[in-house]
Amino acid sequence: MVFTPSPMLLKLLYTRGSLHNQPDGAGVAFSIKNRLDTVRLMKVEQVRLDDTVVPAANIRLDLGGGDIRPATDLGADGSLNLPVGQVLTFSLATPPLAAGMHRLRVQFSTDAFGELSVEVEDAIASQDGRVRIPRVEGDDYAAAAIQARQQFAEDFTGQKYKHLKQYSFDPHDLQGNCESFVGVAQVPVGLAGPLLVNGEHAQGEFLIPLATTEGTLVASYNRGMQALNLCGGVKCTVIGDAMQRAPVFVFDDARGARDFGRWVAESLPQIRPEAESTSRIAKLQYIDTYLSNKFAYLRFNFSTGDAAGQNMVGRATFAACSWILEHYPGAPIRHFYLESNFATDKKASQINVMRTRGKRVVAEATVKRDILQQRLRVTPEQLAYHGQVSNVGAFLSGANNNGAHSANGITALFIATGQDVANVSESSAGVLYSEVTPEGDLYLNITIPSLIVATYGGGTGLATQNECLRMLGCVGQGTVNKFAEIVAGVVLAGELSLGAAISSSDWVSSHEQYGRNR
């Protein structure tokens, strides 16, 4: 452990809204979550509620899963391991609190940080009488807990759910992926391809699993893949890799923010080891500073291995900012927020198009004139001219993609392989380019500037999702760039197929024939 958490960051350990009176007058409880780094809890001194001091003898610590122990068990004879993400619930043997705001101060010590004090305010909510979804403390993924929610859903809605309740995996595998689990949504998966990819990481033919309910989607991508294969496949290249977290620091005036930005740039050699102390994988590449009003926005850029890395870089940036808050010698920092909305998590943005978020990957191919005419019923000139016209439409509309439908293939692959589907908002950005070659063929190229993918972590290890990744040969260390290249190749196939369908006026007739489920 390198960094020392500042009081401002220590407040973030407390789980807002967790303060509550326990049933049957059994006391008061609240939760703290370890958002710093793996430590050992050595001692709990006391908790102060308003003006009442609750000693360790009247405190129990609940780690979940039935693991409850007196706070007095800590000390010289024992300590408690607290990994990152661990929630620790404090149960206090004290009279119930009245509804309204209350002051809390938790005093404890750890092996890494020494003595710490978390001081916050939280409220006891008044009872609103709302119906609540059943949950089971300890093991909320047990069969009894799941069946209770299924019965609750049927009773509440007056409906029976046969298919929702059918699944083939151990629900305990979902811990960290889905809360209040009740069943599964069965999304059809179709096969397209094989697609011939000539990448630096993905080389050869790949069967493509596409999870979708949109008619003609799989058929359209398959058509584009066949055309690309007949012309030697698609060349794919990862040209950038960066995942961001963007904190903001607030000053009294613009000059304070400007001086702070200069200091950060000069202090990067000291900041980098603080950030990287939290992970074996996350590596801080650089920090961009953007100034506006009296605010300094820092955009931390990391590489994150095979993980998408949003949580990883959040933790690393948290550590770096803790060091900054402790060591900045200049004007007072009035406020600090770990995320300023400048990383544009789960949102399309121009900065991600320009600066990269996730993987920046390019797919390109030269499609022969005779293949275009025989297979897709268009000429290179038709498609290239159509591209120019559609560029104007994309410009006028302010779209983040001048192509046809990147999001279709990306979303279908994301659902099939356990990606965070909300990342389609960033990943769907694209820059499509085409030209007629001197030989009269069509050169087609798409840059995906912010493709956020993973082959490790998140939903990639779940049952069917992992099977689809195995179908692509993208399980195991060092496979994320291979997966990124495959995704880009699939996107280009879709652009070619739909672009040709619109240019040849086959678009509506194909949907009428194959894509309408009346």
Q: Would you list the DSSP string of 335-352?
A: EEES--S-S-TTS--HHH
pLDDT at 372: 94
Cβ proximity of 357 and 244 under 8 Å: yes
- Pick from 298, 326, 300: which is nearest to 314 by CA? 300
Q: Are strands 295-303 and 431-436 parallel, antiparallel or unpaired?
A: unpaired
Distances (CA, A) of 233 to 29, 400, 410, 434: 61, 27, 19, 16
Q: What is the pLDDT of residue 125?
A: 73
Q: Exactly one of 139, 214, 339, 467 is catalytic; which is it?
A: 214
Structure confidence at residue 74 (pLDDT): 77
Per the prediction, the chain carries an average pLDDT of 90
Q: Is 335 a catalytic residue?
A: no
Question: Within a 13 Å sphere around the CA of 330, how many CA atoms are in the beta-carbon half?
Answer: 17
**Which pLDDT value is given to residue 508?**
43
pLDDT of residue 1: 43
Check if the beta carbon of residue 15 is closer than 8 Å to that of residue 30: yes
pLDDT for residue 79: 77
In sequence order, the 6+-apart residues with CB closer than 8 A to the CB of 418 are: 458, 459, 460, 461, 462, 465, 466, 468, 469
Most confident of 22-36, 67-81, 122-136: 22-36
**pLDDT for res 75:** 59
Tokens standing for residue 438: 């001197």
The proportion of the chain whose per-residue pLDDT surpasses 70, expressed as a percent, equals: 95
pLDDT surpasses 70 at 182: yes
- pLDDT at 357 exceeding the cut of 50: yes
Task: Tell me: pLDDT of 84 over 80.
Answer: no
The reported pLDDT for the residue numbered 505 is 65
301 DSSP assignment: E
Six token digits for residue 332:
């007072």
Distance of CA 262 to CAs 46, 247, 255, 256, 326, Å?
Answer: 42, 16, 11, 10, 17
Tell me which of 37, 420, 485, 495 is the catalytic residue: 420
User: In this predicted structure, what is the pLDDT of residue 67?
Assistant: 83
The pLDDT, as a whole number, for residue 363 is 98
405 catalytic? Reply is no
Q: What is the pLDDT of residue 76?
A: 57
pLDDT at 116 (0 to 100): 83
Which pLDDT score is estimated for 62?
Answer: 87
CA distances for 492 relative to 365, 404, 407, angstroms: 8, 10, 11
The radius of gyration computed from the CA coordinates of the chain, to the nearest angstrom, equals 27
Output the pLDDT for position 44. 87
Query: Which pLDDT band, with edges at 50, 70 and 90, does 370 fall under?
Result: very high
> CB-hemisphere CA count at 13 Å for 454?
25
Domains in the chain, start-ordered, CATH in brackets? 7-124 (2.60.40), 190-241+357-515 (3.90.770.10), 247-337 (3.30.70.420)
Whether the predicted model's global pTM rises above the 0.85 cut: no
pLDDT at 113: 79
The helix or strand, by DSSP H or E, that contains position 274, with its residue range, turns out to be helix 268-276
Per-residue model confidence as pLDDT tens digits over 234-288: 999 999 999 999 999 999 999 999 999 999 999 999 999 999 988 899 999 999 9
327 is catalytic: no
Tell me the average pLDDT across 88-108: 89
* Contact between residue 286 and residue 298 where contact means Cβ atoms under 8 Å apart: no
Average pLDDT rounded to a whole number, residues 367-371: 95
**Tens digits of per-residue pLDDT, 484-512?**
999 999 999 999 999 999 987 654 445 45
